[in-house]
Chains A and B, each alone.
Chain A
C-alpha cells in the first residue's frame, strides 16, 4: 500500500503527558497537512508543510502543539501537557504539487491517529 500512513493508529494517555504522532506521506508528495477531527465534526486544519518548511499554522495550534518535517519526508506532531480537550482524531494528508502557490491538487488522507486523553 503506497498511501499515507500514520502511527500509531490509537493512543491513550493521561492528562499532562506528552504524545508524538508520525505521518509518512505518499512518496514524492512535497506537501503535507495536519488536521484534527472531533467526534461528529468535519476535519479542521492545523498546519501545512511544503517540503521541510512549515508555511501555515492555524490558531488552533496552541503553544503546546509542535509539528516538524525535518527532511521533507515524514512529519511528526507533538502535543505537550495533553488536556482532555485534545482528544480527537488527528489526520495527516499529502498532495503532489511541485510548484509554489495555491495547489489545485487533491489532498490524500491517512487513516488517522485517534487520541484519547484520560
Chain B
C-alpha cells in the first residue's frame, strides 16, 4: 500500500520569505514523487517530480523539492514566496513496482497563504 502525509493543513508566510510545504510518504518499493498545485475551481497543475537521480528537483515557478530517502520525505520549497503562490498544494506518490499499478496516491493538501 502507498500513502502520503501532509502534516500541515495551512502554511502562512510573508511575501519574500522562504516557503516550505512538508510531505512524507510510504511505499513498498521505490517512490515516484510529485507535487501539484490547485487554484480555486481549477484542476491540478503539475509543479515537479522525482523519479531518480539528483535528490534536489527543480520545477515550475521557482519551486524545488528535496527527496530524502532516509526520512521518506519530499518537502516542497521556494526561496522567496509571492502572493500569487497562495493556493492548495498536493504531494503525490506512485510505487515504482509494476504490480502496484499506475495510480497516484495524494496527500490531504496544504493550503498556502502568502501575505503581502
Residues on A facing B (Cβ under 8 Å):
4, 6, 31, 33, 35, 40-45, 48, 55-56, 58, 91, 93, 95, 101-104, 106-112, 114
Contacts and interface: CB of A to CB of B under 8 A. Distances in A.
Interface residues of B, number: 29
B102 A31 contact: yes
A56 B51 CA distance: 22
Contacts of A41: 108-109
Nearest to B103: A45
Given A42-B108, A109-B36, A33 B103 contact: yes
Interface of B: 4, 32, 34, 36, 41-46, 49, 51, 90, 92, 94-98, 100-109
B43 A109 contact: yes
B103 A42 contact: no
A4 B106 contact: no
Given A104-B51, A109-B36, A58 B46 contact: no
Contacts of A43: 44, 90, 104, 106
Contacts of A44: 106
Task: List the 4 shortest-distance A-B pairs measured between CB atoms, nearest first.
Answer: A42-B106, A45-B103, A109-B43, A109-B44
Among B41, B90, B102, the one with the most A-chain Cβ atoms within 10 Å of its Cβ is: B102
9 contacts: A31-B102, A43-B106, A45-B105, A102-B94, A102-B100, A104-B51, A107-B104, A108-B46, A114-B41
Contacts of B95: 102
A81 B105 CA distance: 27
B61 to A, nearest CB: 15
A103 B100 CA distance: 11
A101 B102 CA distance: 8
B43 A4 contact: yes
